[in-house]
């Protein structure tokens, strides 16, 4: 039996006709004419006849040639999801074309080209895919895209956006967007996020950003600088928050009015450049009380290691010896903080001073995840220790804010 076939089964002595959907946990899942699904023992299901092929509902996409050319690069995730009959789970399966047909208003904002370099759940993202994505975006901008929208699963969106930020100097907006609540639900945040991201992608902006709900209401989207943003909630629409700084802009909904901060990089301020070498042998570890120093042995082959330390940037003294060894063997170690908010300072306590003497680099106020991505990129650009240290401590893409301003 296959999905869509007409079948029958008997419940309470009455025969029912139903549509076969799938098999699950040794039960046949049937859809009744009332619309309900039920699971019944497979042995009780009788096949009546094969189902008719149904064509999906796909209204034609009409584009206005006078509107700016925007590229949608689709990587998967909940901005474009559908139901998987096999597992009953929501998975990313839709192509970029389907996004436009699902959100027709997009066609009033721009003229879209779509590309799908891969379609994955964002937890399966890897640095090699960041590189592929960066090249794909570069090609689109070279081909004339006035803005790029990258649809992405929210789990690792901030890592990807940050990676693109370091790899590309961009003259046009590169906007990452996703949805926190599945696109199949009428309340999904996908439509508002997508429309707002299209609006920003055609705005006077020249950097990589994430555009997602600013609040739990459908009132505005916040535009976050890629290197300062973090997913701070598992499920809320406003999960993405700029840490230690304000978002660089907002777009109200449904009128799509854009306002950008003065420090946002403008369209055309940078020349399109791609530096896509990344050192994948890097890791991010979080220190915790009682951490076994032997754990660090597993990272001996890493060229770079970011530690999310406690407080101002500390680890237990027992780790010091191994850290010294790692640095001596050529591993770059960058200290960040689990506090997420605030700046690392390893000059206040002895532990910190010991870490500095061991050669650990203070990661300033960089987010641990951003520091990891940056370290991969920096190690991809240079082998020279002094240069690595200089680049890691210099603000390249807004990842380091030199002053900790009160009120944020």
Residues with a catalytic annotation lie at 78, 154-155, 231
In this structure, what are the phi and psi dihedrals at residue 205, rounded to the nearest 5 degrees?
-140, 145
Helix (H, G, I), strand (E, B) or coil at 158: helix
Q: Which is nearer to other proteins, 79 or 305 (CB)?
A: 79
Q: Which is nearer to other proteins, 20 or 159 (CB)?
A: 20
Burial of 294 (0-12, 13-18, 19+ CB in 10 A): exposed
Q: Which is nearer to other proteins, 39 or 311 (CB)?
A: 39
Between the CA of residue 350 and those of 312, 314, 355, what are the distances in Å? 12, 10, 9
Minimum Å gap between C-beta 28 and other proteins is: 9
220: β partners: 252
Minimum Å gap between C-beta 398 and other proteins is: 29
Q: What's the CA gap between 148 and 361, in Å, rounded? A: 34
Q: Which is nearer to other proteins, 53 or 292 (CB)?
A: 53
Binding residues for other proteins, rule: CB under 8 A, are 11-14, 16, 24-25, 27, 29, 31-41, 54-57, 83-85, 88-90, 102, 180-188, 191-192, 216-219, 234-237, 254
Minimum Å gap between C-beta 169 and other proteins is: 37
* Residue position matching structure tokens 């401590």: 393
Burial 242-252 (b: 16+ CB within 10 A, else e): bbbbbbbbbbe
Minimum Å gap between C-beta 209 and other proteins is: 23
Spatial contact of 355 and 317, defined as CB atoms under 8 Å apart = no
Strand (E) or helix (H) holding 113: strand 111-115
Spatial contact of 295 and 238, defined as CB atoms under 8 Å apart = no
Minimum Å gap between C-beta 58 and other proteins is: 9
Minimum Å gap between C-beta 44 and other proteins is: 9
Strand (E) or helix (H) holding 306: strand 304-309
Non-local CB neighbours of 253 within 8 Å, separated by 6+ positions: 192, 195, 196, 218, 219, 220, 221
Q: Which is nearer to other proteins, 89 or 271 (CB)?
A: 89
Minimum Å gap between C-beta 180 and other proteins is: 8
Q: Which is nearer to other proteins, 32 or 121 (CB)?
A: 32
Helix (H, G, I), strand (E, B) or coil at 325: helix
Q: Which is nearer to other proteins, 65 or 187 (CB)?
A: 187
Spatial contact of 228 and 245, defined as CB atoms under 8 Å apart = yes
**Count of positions (residues) in the chain:** 408
Spatial contact of 46 and 7, defined as CB atoms under 8 Å apart = yes
Spatial contact of 48 and 7, defined as CB atoms under 8 Å apart = yes
């Amino acid at each position: 039996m296959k999905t869509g076939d007409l079948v029958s089964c008997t419940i309470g002595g009455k025969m029912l006709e139903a549509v076969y959907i799938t098999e699950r946990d040794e039960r046949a899942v049937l859809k009744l004419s009332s619309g309900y699904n039920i699971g019944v023992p497979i042995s009780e299901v009788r096949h009546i006849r094969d189902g008719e092929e149904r064509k999906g509902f796909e209204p034609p996409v009409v584009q206005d040639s006078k509107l700016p050319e925007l590229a949608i690069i689709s990587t998967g995730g909940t901005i474009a999801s559908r139901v998987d009959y096999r597992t009953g789970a929501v998975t990313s399966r839709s192509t970029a074309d389907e996004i436009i047909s699902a959100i027709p208003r997009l066609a009033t904002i721009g003229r879209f080209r779509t590309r799908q370099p891969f379609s994955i759940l964002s937890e399966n993202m890897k640095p090699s895919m960041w590189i592929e994505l960066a090249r794909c975006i570069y090609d689109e901008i070279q081909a004339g895209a006035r803005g790029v929208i990258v649809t992405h699963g929210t789990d690792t969106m901030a890592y990807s956006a940050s990676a693109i930020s370091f790899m590309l100097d961009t003259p046009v907006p590169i906007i990452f967007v996703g949805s926190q609540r599945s696109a199949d639900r009428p309340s999904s945040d996908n439509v508002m996020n997508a429309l707002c991201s299209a609006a920003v992608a055609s705005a006077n902006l020249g950097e990589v950003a994430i555009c997602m709900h600013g609040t739990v209401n459908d009132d505005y989207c916040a535009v976050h600088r890629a290197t300062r943003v973090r997913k701070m909630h598992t499920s809320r629409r406003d999960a993405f928050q700029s840490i230690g700084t304000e978002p660089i802009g907002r777009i109200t909904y449904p009128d799509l009015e854009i306002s950008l901060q003065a420090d946002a990089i403008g369209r055309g301020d940078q020349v399109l450049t791609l530096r896509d070498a990344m050192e994948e042998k890097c890791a991010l570890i979080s220190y915790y009380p009682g951490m076994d120093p032997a754990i660090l042995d597993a990272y001996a082959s890493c060229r770079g290691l970011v530690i999310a330390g406690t407080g101002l940037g500390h680890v237990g003294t027992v780790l010091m010896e191994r850290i010294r060894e790692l640095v001596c063997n050529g591993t770059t170690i960058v200290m960040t903080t689990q506090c997420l908010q605030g700046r690392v300072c390893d000059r206040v306590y002895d532990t910190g001073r010991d870490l500095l003497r061991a050669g650990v680099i203070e990661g300033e106020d960089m987010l641990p995840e951003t520091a990891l991505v940056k370290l991969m990129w920096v190690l991809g650009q240079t082998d020279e220790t002094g240069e690595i240290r200089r680049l890691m401590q210099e603000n390249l893409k807004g990842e380091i804010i030199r002053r900790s301003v009160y009120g944020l």
